Structure 1
């Protein structure tokens, strides 16, 4: 396994998903999480854990959470893996 270069816990705001139709809001939230990590971790290779997806889709497609806590790890090969941070 590659060595971890950088590890952060981020609180990703998802309040801007209201710009999309109600039935698409969770899809938009996942795209927003991915773009947030691309910007902050400086990598295009993002792998999201299934726990993030389950948390976003918890209340259905129209009601994603307002914010989500994510633990992101960047490896020496440039890949970023993200999972739901324990609370």
Structure 2
């Protein structure tokens, strides 16, 4: 099963500047767990690099990802270009 999601990251702006990018990664993981109904989430390095692109403080307001659920229940999250 493949789905494309636009994950809003605007809530990250409410946390201290020094932990925004790590919080954004946690938000992506929680969003995928909630929407794909799986606990085994694998985030691609391209998604991580996109969030960290402008540093720890300046996180993008949203990110577009493609989630692919495998037969064993694991979910691979990749960046949509």
Regarding TM over 0.5, the answer is yes
SS across alignment from 1:68: strand
Q: 2:40 — aligned with what?
A: 45
* Aligned residue pair count: 81
Give 5+ residue unaligned stretches, structure 2.
none
Report the Cα offset of residue 76 of structure 1: 1.0
- Report Cα offsets for 1:2-36 as digits up to 9, x if no partner: xxxx1000000000002211010000000000000
SS across alignment from 1:32: helix
The two structures have a TM-score, normalised by structure 1, of: 0.91
User: Any runs of at least 4 consecutive aligned residues in structure 1 with deviations exceeding 6 A, and if so which?
Assistant: none
Give 5+ residue unaligned stretches, structure 1.
1-5
State the alpha-carbon separation in 2 of the partners of residues 78 and 85 from structure 1: 21
- Aligned to 2:54, which of 32, 56, 59? 59
- Report Cα offsets for 1:45-70 as digits up to 9, x if no partner: 00000000000000000011000000
Pairs within 5 Å for 1:23-38: 23-38=18-33
The two structures have a TM-score, normalised by structure 2, of: 0.98
